[in-house]
Structure 1
């Protein structure tokens, strides 16, 4: 089962176990309508934007940020999630909470310039998991 929500995420569930299998993000606004055709998720957002995303349950990218349980179907959606939901460019300092990472970003310049690339490297190196 695939559901769309006002939080800009599309969730994929396994009906038998009710487990959430994947999340797809990357939407610019609230998802208002959705259709699936030939393994492609088509979404329409409140702002009028339309997005087509290939559904692939064989690729999974897990968010290893402290206490986060989301698994994304696309690596880029995980990067967007990390930057948008786990950081704030207005903070004065940020400690990376990805697994056992001890990186610390002590200025707003570092948070805006280096933290997104730091997170992208985490995604590239150790976010992919087997379905």
Structure 2
């Protein structure tokens, strides 16, 4: 089974989801999105696959969120995606992609819904 996790090793939720995937016997592709940020097109695809508004995939408590005034309700989805691309710390994690779907796995136990 192909599994990809957009991962931040410093995040307990991300570590927890990764551990659950590995404990289930899978070796996922781990993308350290802070070191290798997804492209704008990849981010658009992730947002669409999650079926959530882009704001729900953003970390609004990051300093850069308020510095860039990203709470402005008039900003377009494209503007928010561009901000995430430029500042990958804004991407909430972990996002897990499997053949069963794509999901923000907060809490990490939600990853079980994506596993066989």
TM-score by length of 1: 0.30
Q: Kindly name which structure, 1 or 2, has the bigger radius of gyration based on alpha carbons.
A: 1
TM-score by length of 2: 0.33
Greater strand share, structure number = 1
Greater helix share, structure number = 2
